[in-house]
Amino acid sequence: MKPLQTSSGDLNTDRRADYAEMLHASGDHPAAAELLLGALELAPQWAMGWFRLGEMQEAAGAFDQAAQAWTMALKLEPVDRLGAGLKLQLIGKAPATAAPPSAFVETLFDHYAGTFDEALVDKLGYLLPEFLDRAIRAARPGRFRLAIDLGCGTGLMGQRLRPIADRLEGYDISARMLGKARAKSIYDHLAKANLQTFSHTGEKADLVVAADVFIYVGALEGVMKTVARMLAGDGLFAFSVETLAGTTDFTLQSSRRYAHSEIYVRRVLATNGFSTLSAETTVIRQDRRQPVEGLAVVAGKLLEADTVPPTSV
């Protein structure tokens, strides 16, 4: 995949785009959009420019024009590394999908890899690894022969798992995040993987963890089935979701992250042979100085005998 073109490639276009960004930041969204639209006449193949135009038009309340801009960005960037399709969904101009484009998730985390730990922990108060670590230890004290960290990122969760795992494996969609995790020397094995198509062929794990990962998954049926196949007969599955009130299964939020209802989470777990051992509300992180509430879950895989209804005598 060729690198994402953040510059238009034309000096005059870039200068106008920079000025449009200044107007946008000052709150003059209509003027910013008008200026950037004019600049795009000089560089009509610039996907990033069309995406930013859509955001400026959205801020100005011009949703039809924003939809046109994001549609153009999608036409120029069909794999959708910019997430234009998600923006169209959020304004009701495209049907809802069960998952975000994989290219968008990969690009997002490749971009943030360099500053991820500092931004998440120091600025956004990210404490989920500590919370999940305590929940795992409460559910099953002791060590795990094999622990798998899905969506391991830079290894923030892995640092918590290392003391209780004989072998620790990490998988992530972002090569740059994996590079940061590798530098910490806490994993026995790291590999690039897309959770939407992930298949684990190694030995069964005693513990699988997905910390702050399902916000970029959407529908959980597929990944839950995959995890059930990865786990040993009495294995543990620890994960988190952003909380969605009500009975709707899941929804795409304005942040372009997914939130899931507890009812849905429990139902999908049960369907895939898990019992919910704990489900605790916690603050996952801050977002624009507001707490993001989530659910930290530890589930146990039922033994086959536990899933067979008792026979009458």
Q: Where is average pLDDT lowest: 38-42, 194-198, 278-282, 304-308?
A: 304-308
Q: Determine the Cα–Cα distance for residues 264 and 216; give it in Å rounded to an integer.
A: 16
What is the length of the chain?
313
68 Cβ contact partners less than 8 Å away, ≥ 6 residues apart: 54
Does the pLDDT at position 311 exceed 50? no
Hey, do 11-95 and 114-307 end up sharing a CATH topology, with the first three levels equal?
no
| Torsional sign, CA 277, 169, 167, 200 | positive
pLDDT digits (tens, 9 = 90+) for 183-205: 999 999 999 999 989 988 889 99
Does the pLDDT at position 303 exceed 60? yes
Candidates 130, 68, 311, 43; CA nearest to 53 is 68
- pLDDT the model gives residue 201: 86
The CATH T-level fold of domain 114-307 is Rossmann fold (3.40.50)
- pLDDT the model gives residue 144: 97
Does the pLDDT at position 207 exceed 90? yes
pLDDT digits (tens, 9 = 90+) for 125-184: 888 999 999 999 999 999 999 999 999 999 999 999 999 999 999 999 999 999 999 999
Q: Determine the Cα–Cα distance for residues 187 and 206; give it in Å rounded to an integer.
A: 16
Q: Determine the Cα–Cα distance for residues 8 and 21; give it in Å rounded to an integer.
A: 14
Q: Where is average pLDDT lowest: 65-69, 272-276, 296-300, 304-308?
A: 304-308
Contact 259, 242 (CB under 8 A): yes
Neighbours of 222 (CB within 10 A): 17
Average pLDDT, the chain: 92
The CA radius of gyration of the chain, in Å to the nearest whole number, is: 22
Q: Which residues pair with 215 in a beta bridge?
A: none
**Cα angle 303, 136, 178; round to 5:** 105
- pLDDT the model gives residue 208: 98
Helices (H), the chain: 11-26, 29-40, 47-59, 63-76, 84-90, 102-112, 116-117, 128-139, 156-161, 175-183, 221-230, 262-271, 304-307
Q: Give the Å distances, CA to CA, from 54 to 66, 73, 141, 303.
A: 4, 9, 51, 51
Q: Pseudo-torsion of CA 147, 152, 155, 160, nearest 10°?
A: -40
Domain coordinates in residue numbering, the chain = 11-95, 114-307
Q: Which residues of 28-42 are buried (b: 16+ CB within 10 A; e: fewer)?
A: bbebbbbbbbebbeb
The CATH T-level fold of domain 11-95 is 1.25.40
The fraction of the chain above a pLDDT of 90, given in percent, is 80
Helix 47-59 and helix 29-40, axial crossing angle in degrees, nearest 10:
160
- pLDDT the model gives residue 3: 64
Query: Judging by DSSP bridges, how do beta strands 274-287 and 290-301 pair with one another?
Result: antiparallel
- pLDDT the model gives residue 1: 53
Q: How confident is the model at residue 309 (pLDDT cuts 50, 70, 90)?
A: very low
- pLDDT the model gives residue 312: 38
**Which pTM was predicted?**
0.91
